[in-house]
Structure formats: structure tokens, C-alpha cells
Amino acid sequence: MRSSRTLVLLGIVAATLVGCSASVDAVPTPSASAPAASPAPTGTVAAPSPSASAQEATLTLSLDRLTAVVDGASEEVAIADGEAIVALMTRLSGVEPQTSEMEDPWGNGDFWGTRYEWPGAIVALIEGRASLTVRAARIGDVPVSTAAGIAVGSTRAAALAAQAFDEWDEDDDGIADHLGIEGRDVAGTTSLVRPGEVGIEFIGLDLDGDLVTAIYLPANDYSDI
């Protein structure tokens, strides 16, 4: 069993995003009879700053909380509040999730919790606490990243520059297929991959080649699940 892969990945399947394009209306050509425009005033005129509501929305991931900024308003939702996480993801994605019951990974027929899936994101809700996997650069129209700015589509080099660390070389080719970022010690635990050292929890990054394909949290190196 993989020690540092937590319940966030149980029963998860890849989410697919459908790209969309925007069209721009042509600008009408002035008629010949239209009056000539007045000369522009001399000097420099500063462009008005965009209002907070006009700024792009964001969703920032951390081990303790999700922080969403939409229409200039900021909202923080604790990872420990699973129902609030589900409500936030539903609101940002603009669609209701597909839900399914999660069975234990050993096939004993026990149900551990509920999985919620939206385009590009999955939440596993177990005993009220959420585990989140993001497989898209945006949820709905909202870009998603870690506090260090790492998102789906970021490069390995960018992740390493943001202090990411090797977590697992899945195919044993000497290059890590999974990285960790924003790691911190968890008192009272013992690492299963660093014998004798305290365990850590972190945000996990899946990579395909040198590109980040998924972000998952929370992850740790002391659980035997």
C-alpha cells in the first residue's frame, strides 16, 4: 500500500474539462458623414484602476483552508468543514456534483463516506472532513492554485522553485512522479518513508512528465492507507 496517499484519492477518476472560446463583435466602421473626432488632449491621462469586483476571481488552496475571492469578496472555508467545502465547490463550478458512496479500499463492504465530483474537482467527505483533488486549472471560471502559485499546468521547475520536494517515484525511473509542497511536521507521528523522523503533512502534486496534472490535499507520509 502507498503510505502517503491519503483518502483523497480513493475511488477517484479523472475529470475532464471542456474548453470554451469567446467571440468578439466587430467594431462598426464610421460612415463618411460622421464628424471628425476632436484632437486628443495633450499630456498623460492615467487609466482608471479596475474595481475589486472587476478583478479576476481566485481560489487558493492550503492545508488548513480554501480561500475564495469572488466579486471582490473573500471567503475562507476550513478543510475540517467538509459540508462547507462541498457547498463552495458547487457554487464556484456552477453545477451540482455527482455523488457516490465510498467503500473501504480492502473490499469489506464498509462505507467510509461520500464522494462529490464536479468537472475538474473531487471531494471525498469522511466523518465531516474533506479531502480535495483538483484536476483543472479552473473550477468554473475561477483559477485555482496553491499559495505559492502552483496550479494544474505548472511546470516541475516552477514547483521546485516554490520549494516542492520529491514524494514518490511511481515508475522507478529516478524522476519523481509525485511532489509535495507546503510540508509541515505533525507532532506525535512517525514518518513511514523517513525512519525515525516525525511525520509530515503536505499538499500533493501529481505530474505527467514535467507538468502538474493534479493537486490533492491533505496528504501525509505517516498514514498506512
What pLDDT was estimated at residue 21?
29
As a whole number of angstroms, the distance between CA 8 and CA 6 comes to 5
**Long-range contacts for 96-104 (Cβ within 8 Å, ≥24 apart)?**
97/123, 100/11, 102/10, 102/11, 102/126, 103/11
As a whole number of angstroms, the distance between CA 207 and CA 87 comes to 28
Q: Where are the domains of the chain?
A: 55-220
Cell numbers found for residue 56 = 479576476
pTM summary value:
0.75
How high is the mean pLDDT in each 10-residue block of the chain (225 residues)?
A: 42 34 32 39 39 69 96 92 95 96 78 93 89 97 97 98 95 95 96 93 97 97 82
What pLDDT was estimated at residue 55?
60
